[in-house]
Chain A
Amino acid sequence: MNTRNILTWLPKHIVGLMGMILLTLSCEDYLEVDPPKNQLTGEVVFENAATVDAAFAHIYAELRENGFTTGGTQGLSYLMGHYSDELELYSSSLPAVLNYTNNTVLPSDNSVKNLWDTGYGLVYAANAILEGVSSSGSLTEDEKGRLLGEAYFIRAFIHFHLVNLFGEIPYIMTTDYDENKDVGRLELAMVYQYIEGDLLLAKELLAASAPDFERFRPDYWTASALLARVYLYQENWQLAIDEASAILGDSGYALNPDMDRVFLKDSPETLWQLGPGLPGNNTKEAFTFVIVNGPPPNSALTQSLINSFEEGDARFEQWVGSVTDGSETWYFPYKYREYVPTASTQECSIIFRLAEQYLILAEANAQLGNLGPALEFLNTVRGRASLPFLDNLDQASLLQAVQAERRVEFFSEQGHRFFDLKRTGRADAVLAPIKPGWESSDRLLPIPESELLLNPNLLPQNEGY
């Protein structure tokens, strides 16, 4: 064809074509989209205290629902109850819990990963708050103090549980993933040093702020209570006494004389409890533990725990429930009773309560040889449970009595029993005879396998796994 036409034809049209394209393309801002409506940018969150409180709400809700403090079947109250000698598993459909019962927890178990992952996830959230609040230009100094104090407390609180479950662990103090992705494990003493540092800082920052009357948020006294527990675990007896005495003396909290009201929401004994998700909700503990008809669908208390209650112990009357099918009777933790929502919330999961401080005082004094005061603190707790006072005990028997008391006071609460057995060096002696799967190395859970695969600096795995 007439190829010659092209010279006249093409330039004319190409110019028009290009003009059109260039005209249309000049709007580069076409790609500017609105920010997502369901998300806030980091800067906005730290502009005012209400949104930072919402960031804390996430942490507390996680602790209530998924973290190791949850009353559900993923939490320490339940898992470590089986791992030690408090709970007997009846369900055939909870193979993960069976591994705790048998002390055959494996590094690949999801429950282990969950404890670890949610723990460090919350540490990140706390660090993000620490960094965001510190650099915020619009929060007042008072607000900053309260928010930072709470965040330091959370960081310490979570690491404290992690170190007791997993042994040597990394202590995470930044949100920088480049740094956190290949951290190594710290010696126990180092971890405790950081925990103590964070708690002292938290106390200092929280000292000025008013306590939360519902005790849904950790405050100065909560930080002090954890510090007392940390000193006790480290066998730093005098410091433990100092912290606990201050709480008894100045906090204004008191033991609840009504044994059936200790776990109610307004109990004067509570230092910190996890508030409900929705008005009228009660605790996950009640949902997990309370048995309506036998045989138990999940778990029941072990006979050995039942046997450890002295005759006439009010705690057995008030805090242990029972159910029977006519021939057999099963017992269950009945500290929390409302397993379905009520008109208004009756019970919340208590994380710290004053009775612990009495028993810390008893134990630490006994360790230092102050047997008189020790006995007095112990008898206060016994007296409340309608038990006769003890007298004339030597140091060893007194220490033993304190441990016995802790067992029946804190059963099915936050894994106290297991941690007590561990820190007092009695785990092998107590558990080996009654649990065929128990080995000395079971004092620690395994580091999750997925974690070791991603970060070889965490090697070696805990002994025995």
Chain B
Amino acid sequence: MYRVFLFMSLYVFLMPFFANTMQAGTVLEPPQVTVSGTVTDTSGNPLAGVNLVVESKNIGTISDLNGSFSINAGPTDVLIFSMVGFKSLTVPIEGREEVIVQMEEDVTVLGEVVLNAGYYTVSERERTGSIERVESIDIEKQPISNPLAALQGRVAGVEIEQVSGLPGSNFKIQIRGRNSIRSGANEPLYIIDGVPYASNTLGESQASLPLPGGGISPLNNINPSDIESIEILKDADATAIYGSRGANGVVLITTKKGNSGATKIEVGLQTGLGRIANKVDLLDTPGYLAMRREAFANDGIDPIPFYAYDVNGTWDMDRHTDWQRKLFGNTSYLTDVQGSISGGNETTQFLVSGNFHRQTSVFPGDFNNDKIGVLSNLGHRSANNRFSIQLSTTFSANKNRLPGDGLLVLDALNLAPNAPELYTEDGVLNWENSTWSNPLAKLQGNYTSDGKTLISNARLEYRLVDGLRASANLGYTENHLRELTTVPSTIYDPAYGIGPEASYAVHNTGERTSYIVEPQLHYDREFGVLRLTTLAGLTFQGQTTQRRSQFAFGFTNNGLMDNLSAASSQFPIADVTEEYRYQALYGRVNLAVKNRYFLNFTGRRDGSSRFGTDKRFADFGAIGAAYVFSKEAFIRQGFPMLSFGKLRGSYGTSGSDQIGDYQYLDTYSFGTQQYQNTIGLYPTRLFNPNFSWEENKKLEVALELGFFDDRIFLSGTYYRNRSTNQLVGVPLPATTGFSSVNANLNATVENTGWEFELNTVNINGKNFSWSTGLNLTVPRNRLVSFPDLEGSTYANQLVIGQPLNISKVYRSNGVNPGTGLYEFEDFNGDGIISSPEDRQMVMDLNPSFYGGLTNTVTIGKFKWDMLFQFTKQQGSGYWTPGNIIVGGLANQPTSVLQRWQQEGDLVPFQRFSTGASQEAAQAFRQYTQSDASITDASYIRLKTLSLSYQLAEKNHQGFGCELYLRGQNLLTLTGYDGLDPETRSNQAVPPLRVVTLGTRLTF
């Protein structure tokens, strides 16, 4: 069937060219001569590595170290000189044999930037799709260890949130909003040097508990300083060629390559400190004890009962401990060492780099994250320019050691300020006669993860005949993860009398290997004013995931817990092998007329093993168009200040298969528990073999304008993405035996939005320059339709016309001045506040806008970079997670002092209660589920500040030396009531404020 489709589509794409060119003939070429010359910059320094081509011919060369070149060309030919960072130059030979050229540095914002669109490249000026690029220069400015952190605040339409301040933890990324109702299916596709990279963790859920947000992020294994650029593909035109995996956008990561020229050695050293940037202002001991006494009095409990150790005198009532400082207030130390050697000649270039990164945690104790990485890149082009190969290999090892329990932050917030000493005088953990559970006991257990990642890629290309190239993209990745969680008996109160025989450990090893083979044909040709660029290719991708976890217990000594053989008993809790196969056929046809009108067709037919036999294949495609109207004569004359103007748009489809492997099978899985020496077999899921691809239709229109030689560059984009055939785990009540079933819902989710970018070169002097960049996204997410929503299990989660990310809550009517209790709107008027009937208040938890502002100022040898990131949003507040009642045995923010005390009080907080009063407990619980607990979580954050000083320049002193001072998360302006408006969690360590000092030497 799809052969027909293929044939038809190619036929349709190509037929027009046949029709218009029904004449045959040949043109005689004039005689060829050797033209030589030199290229220099405006100050006369020779420029090496300048790309030089004869226009309209496939002849080209590169200038050597002295800036010299020689090339065969006809006397009437035109030479085109180009190099990144310089303005391209077109020089007609006009019969000369020597051509001396000076190239001007490109100060315009746009330049001739070439974007990586994955299967092809396209120049920034000519692109029809929505592609954003973040370059190494911006990535390097930030003291970060995860490449995603570099994108925060820099790219319009991309929302990134750090899940936790712990080194190695995950980032949440959403490109143009949430498309799928399924919460775990909104991840973009990551491609590193042409190789898809699975971003889901290999961790065992029972072993990776301390890291919120799905364990160790595999992306953390990519060294940010090895990255040349990150491209983000957003619209249909750019993503349809990724078909079933492009619905949520594509993140392309390109590693650094060597350049021809003298061998260059770069060494970078960086060291710094990090601390949590914010603490919650909690009650001190007198305030806390007063709250507790008042709570008991309010509940009519007298005398204070025996179990209220904090306030009945069992614990010292004069103690005060700042638990936030004690439990996660340590300084995190960061060290980063980089080194690279690169160089090459016209035909062969290489780059080898290595790095070491270490960061310690903010917890008391010896916890840290160590990373080592190596990158090698080799490029070669045959002397006749027909054959080229590009090899790249990255290897990284990542070791993370964390406390075995993730609740230390919550403990720090909840512990009574007069809770006992952590240690007794003898230096052992203090259990204060079993009256508390010592939070440091949790540190007795450890979590260690040891990850290794290999990504290798080869790209071969051969020019068959003029204009026709065959290429192959080959990739192989390996990902290994070893995890060990230890829970020694010493985490328990000794009163239990438990020895090492009750200690246990979870060992997990996971590995994922994947390969990709992509043969491709490219055909580029010019027909007069028409330039045709085409591509057709195939993808074969296979991925195997294996994971084995062991539960080991019954140790004779807690020191032996990392050794499986020291356990008297062990049993497997997971032994998983999963295979994923993926196959595709794709193509692109791009037409450019007069470098002014552009049309881009892309299409893909995909097959995925994640679906049942009848549902495996699907087709995706898009059309994009652009019109560079600034090239029109009437525009040039009428609006001379307009240096660039382009209108572009695209429409098309892409899909998503993020459902996991084998979900269409009806299976039983082996459990973790035994009975009568048999491992239990449990039904894996409710099964439905008929689910299929989710489809995403994307529409985009954009206008790009450059003024005054592009010194002011403005772009505005409107997008509308509609996701249908929603592939979801439909939530089910427990009476079905499961919490969900996989199925396609005939619901439509729409993401619309405006993206604005403004880049200006404010001042551009020899010793002083200043440029500014601003990006702003105004997104809107909406559930357009959902047949029978009221009768579905989503009835209380979703509302038609509202975003997906909402919360249906009670509407708070404040504190009743008479009873001192919270009151809520009784929507159904039955006199009882109950769920779900009265949870009718809809709270939108999406950002209403977000963006970033960058400023770069260069004064002589100083360079100053600043990035502000901002978001306007509402989010879960301090009480939303359902904390312990205000007045119970848990400390509270000082704001609770504005509580009801006597009749007539008009205050925001209800009377204190220990929870013994049913009405107070109920009202508090409803408060946590009301609009009152959802707070403004907007913030403006000075994300990055970098100050560098060029001590020596390679061109002058023979070596280069740059000193810099960098800061991350230095300042946050927010009215948020909890720890951090970005993580919005009482359990996660907030993002750290990091300051580093470093140097970069170039030889």
Interfacial residues, chain A to chain B (CB-CB below 8 A): 1-8, 10, 13-14, 17-18, 20-22, 24-25, 28, 30-42, 45, 51, 53-62, 64-65, 89-93, 95, 98-99, 102-104, 106-108, 113, 116-117, 120-121, 123-125, 127-128, 170, 172, 175, 177, 180-183, 214, 216-217, 275, 277-280, 290-297, 325, 339-341, 436-437, 439, 448-456, 458, 461, 465
Query: B737–A121 contact, CB under 8 A?
Result: yes
Query: A125–B737 contact, CB under 8 A?
Result: yes
Contact (A54, B680) CB under 8 Å given A21-B538, A92-B436: yes
CB of A341 to closest CB in B, whole Å:
6
B678 on interface, CB distance cutoff 8 Å? yes
B781-831: which have CB < 8 Å to A?
A: 791, 793, 795-797
Q: Nearest chain-B residue to A340 (Cβ)?
A: B501
Q: Which of A8, A57, A296 contacts B24 (CB 8 A)?
A: A8
Query: B668–A39 contact, CB under 8 A?
Result: yes
B667 on interface, CB distance cutoff 8 Å? yes
Query: A121–B734 contact, CB under 8 A?
Result: yes
Q: Nearest chain-B residue to A39 (Cβ)?
A: B667
Q: Mark B672-697, 1 if CB is under 8 A from A, else 0.
A: 01111111111110110000000000
Query: B921–A33 contact, CB under 8 A?
Result: no
- How far, in whole Å, are A465 and B324 apart by their CA atoms in the complex? 36
CB of B305 to closest CB in A, whole Å:
10
Return 14 A-B CB contacts under 8 Å, by A number.
Answer: A1-B27, A1-B526, A35-B665, A51-B681, A57-B673, A58-B673, A61-B674, A99-B921, A280-B569, A341-B569, A449-B835, A454-B793, A455-B793, A461-B834
CB of B472 to closest CB in A, whole Å:
12
> Which residues of the other chain, A, contact B668 by a CB distance below 8 angstroms?
39-42, 45, 51, 55
Contact (A325, B680) CB under 8 Å given A31-B583, A123-B737, A177-B736: no
Query: A291–B495 contact, CB under 8 A?
Result: yes
> Which residues of the other chain, B, contact A279 by a CB distance below 8 angstroms?
677
Contact (A36, B662) CB under 8 Å given A104-B916, A106-B921, A449-B835: yes
Q: A31-B609, A42-B668, A340-B502 are in contact. List 9 more A-B contacts (CB 8 A).
A: A33-B661, A37-B575, A39-B662, A61-B674, A106-B925, A108-B929, A121-B737, A124-B738, A295-B434
Query: A297–B681 contact, CB under 8 A?
Result: no
Query: A93–B437 contact, CB under 8 A?
Result: yes
Total contacts A to B, CB within 8 angstroms?
324
Q: Nearest chain-A residue to B681 (Cβ)?
A: A54
> Which residues of the other chain, B, contact A124 by a CB distance below 8 angstroms?
683, 736-738
> Which residues of the other chain, B, contact A90 by a CB distance below 8 angstroms?
307, 434
Query: B732–A340 contact, CB under 8 A?
Result: no
Contact (A295, B581) CB under 8 Å given A45-B681, A90-B307: no
Query: B737–A180 contact, CB under 8 A?
Result: yes
> Which residues of the other chain, B, contact A182 by a CB distance below 8 angstroms?
733, 791
Query: A275–B735 contact, CB under 8 A?
Result: no
Query: A13–B525 contact, CB under 8 A?
Result: no
Q: Nearest chain-B residue to A98 (Cβ)?
A: B915
- How far, in whole Å, are A116 and B14 apart by their CA atoms in the complex? 63
> Which residues of the other chain, A, contact B528 by a CB distance below 8 angstroms?
1, 3
Q: Mark B626-665, 1 if CB is under 8 A from A, else 0.
A: 0000000000000000000000000000000000011001
- How far, in whole Å, are A41 and B687 apart by their CA atoms in the complex? 11
Query: B607–A31 contact, CB under 8 A?
Result: yes
- How far, in whole Å, are A18 and B7 apart by their CA atoms in the complex? 8
CB of A364 to closest CB in B, whole Å:
33
B145-203: which have CB < 8 Å to A?
A: none
Q: Which of B309, B581, B585 contacts A33 (CB 8 A)?
A: B581
> Which residues of the other chain, B, contact A57 by a CB distance below 8 angstroms?
673-676, 678-681
Query: B682–A125 contact, CB under 8 A?
Result: yes
Query: A13–B468 contact, CB under 8 A?
Result: yes
B424 on interface, CB distance cutoff 8 Å? no
Q: Nearest chain-A residue to B882 (Cβ)?
A: A108
Q: Nearest chain-B residue to A170 (Cβ)?
A: B735
- How far, in whole Å, are A143 and B686 apart by their CA atoms in the complex? 26
Query: B521–A17 contact, CB under 8 A?
Result: yes
Q: Mark B852-893, 1 if CB is under 8 A from A, else 0.
A: 000000000000000000000000000000101000110000
> Which residues of the other chain, A, contact B680 by a CB distance below 8 angstroms?
54-55, 57-62
CB of A292 to closest CB in B, whole Å:
3
B1-17: which have CB < 8 Å to A?
A: 2-3, 6-7, 10, 14, 17
> Which residues of the other chain, B, contact A116 by a CB distance below 8 angstroms?
734
Q: Nearest chain-A residue to B554 (Cβ)?
A: A341
Q: Nearest chain-B residue to A45 (Cβ)?
A: B668
Q: Which of A42, A59, A278, A449 contacts B571 (CB 8 A)?
A: A278
> Which residues of the other chain, A, contact B557 by a CB distance below 8 angstroms?
none
Q: Mark B429-465, 1 if CB is under 8 A from A, else 0.
A: 0000111110000000000000000000000000001
Instruction: Say which size band chain B's interface belongs to.
Output: 35 or more
Interfacial residues, chain B to chain A (CB-CB below 8 A): 2-3, 6-7, 10, 14, 17-18, 20-27, 56, 300-301, 307, 309, 433-437, 465, 468, 493-499, 501-502, 519, 521, 523, 525-528, 530, 536, 538, 540, 554, 569, 571, 574-583, 585, 607-609, 616, 661-662, 665-671, 673-684, 686-687, 731-739, 741, 791, 793, 795-797, 834-836, 882, 884, 888-889, 915-918, 921-922, 925, 929
CB of A9 to closest CB in B, whole Å:
8
Query: B536–A21 contact, CB under 8 A?
Result: yes
Q: Nearest chain-A residue to B571 (Cβ)?
A: A278
Q: Nearest chain-B residue to A8 (Cβ)?
A: B24
- How far, in whole Å, are A117 and B917 apart by their CA atoms in the complex? 28
Query: A1–B527 contact, CB under 8 A?
Result: yes
Query: A10–B732 contact, CB under 8 A?
Result: no
> Which residues of the other chain, A, contact B523 by a CB distance below 8 angstroms?
13
CB of A218 to closest CB in B, whole Å:
13
Query: A36–B578 contact, CB under 8 A?
Result: yes
Query: B738–A39 contact, CB under 8 A?
Result: no
Query: B21–A4 contact, CB under 8 A?
Result: yes
Query: A58–B581 contact, CB under 8 A?
Result: no
Query: B56–A28 contact, CB under 8 A?
Result: no
Q: Nearest chain-B residue to A117 (Cβ)?
A: B734
CB of B998 to closest CB in A, whole Å:
44
Query: B23–A177 contact, CB under 8 A?
Result: no
Q: Nearest chain-A residue to B434 (Cβ)?
A: A297
> Which residues of the other chain, A, contact B734 by a CB distance below 8 angstroms?
113, 116-117, 120-121, 448, 450-451
Contact (A95, B538) CB under 8 Å given A31-B616, A45-B681: no
- How far, in whole Å, are A268 and B2 apart by their CA atoms in the complex? 71
> Which residues of the other chain, B, contact A172 by a CB distance below 8 angstroms?
735, 737
Query: A10–B609 contact, CB under 8 A?
Result: no
Query: A121–B10 contact, CB under 8 A?
Result: no
> Which residues of the other chain, A, contact B519 by a CB distance below 8 angstroms?
20, 24
CB of A272 to closest CB in B, whole Å:
13
> Which residues of the other chain, B, contact A448 by a CB distance below 8 angstroms?
734
Query: B497–A293 contact, CB under 8 A?
Result: yes
Contact (A7, B733) CB under 8 Å given A28-B607, A64-B675, A125-B682: no
CB of B836 to closest CB in A, whole Å:
5
Contact (A297, B496) CB under 8 Å given A21-B585, A25-B585, A33-B609: yes
Query: A275–B675 contact, CB under 8 A?
Result: yes
Q: Nearest chain-B residue to A63 (Cβ)?
A: B675
> Which residues of the other chain, B, contact A56 by a CB distance below 8 angstroms?
675
Query: B581–A30 contact, CB under 8 A?
Result: yes
Q: Which of A32, A62, A458 contacts B609 (CB 8 A)?
A: A32
- How far, in whole Å, are A217 and B676 apart by their CA atoms in the complex? 9
Q: Which of B433, B540, B671, B834 contacts A58 (CB 8 A)?
A: B671
> Which residues of the other chain, B, contact A449 by a CB distance below 8 angstroms?
835
- How far, in whole Å, are A406 and B739 apart by their CA atoms in the complex? 38
Query: B674–A439 contact, CB under 8 A?
Result: no
Query: A17–B536 contact, CB under 8 A?
Result: yes
Query: A455–B578 contact, CB under 8 A?
Result: no
CB of A78 to closest CB in B, whole Å:
15
Q: Which of B577, B607, B616, B678 contacts A36 (CB 8 A)?
A: B577
- How far, in whole Å, are A56 and B7 apart by their CA atoms in the complex? 55
CB of B722 to closest CB in A, whole Å:
27
> Which residues of the other chain, B, contact A296 by a CB distance below 8 angstroms?
434, 495
CB of A80 to closest CB in B, whole Å:
18
